[in-house]
Amino acid sequence: MAEHAKENTLETTIANLTNEREAGTDNAQSDSAYTPVFSKQVRTVVYVLGLIASCVGLGFMTFGDAAVGGYISTVAGFLASGLGVAYNPLRKN
């Protein structure tokens, strides 16, 4: 068989993904796949503070100075994402 015609085709990949989904292993993560830098308590605090700051920014954009509100919301998002904080209910640790 020619090198470019190996069994690694799109159909094979889709079949493998379908089999994983049917077996319930499609979203299983190994423990070594992701090691968080911060503890879950720190991530939770940063997430909640970012959420509150985003709401305050929305208030400023709606009822006050839109530029200040946009700045607050943007900085809150940058800080949370910069620290690796994200809402992910499937995260194990």
pLDDT at residue 67 in the model: 93
pLDDT tens, position by position, 19-45: 666 665 555 555 556 677 778 788 888
> Residue 73 class from Cβ within 10 Å (0-12 exposed, 13-18 middle, 19+ buried)?
buried
pLDDT of residue 71 exceeding 90: yes
Contact 59, 69 (CB under 8 A): yes
pLDDT tens, position by position, 75-87: 998 888 887 776 6
CA distances for 26 relative to 4, 23, 41, angstroms: 28, 8, 28
Query: 26-64: b or e for each residue (b if 16 or more CB lie within 10 Å)?
Result: eeeeeeeeeeeeeeeeebeebbeebeebbeebeebbeee
pLDDT of residue 64 exceeding 70: yes
Q: pLDDT over 70 for what percent of the chain?
A: 61
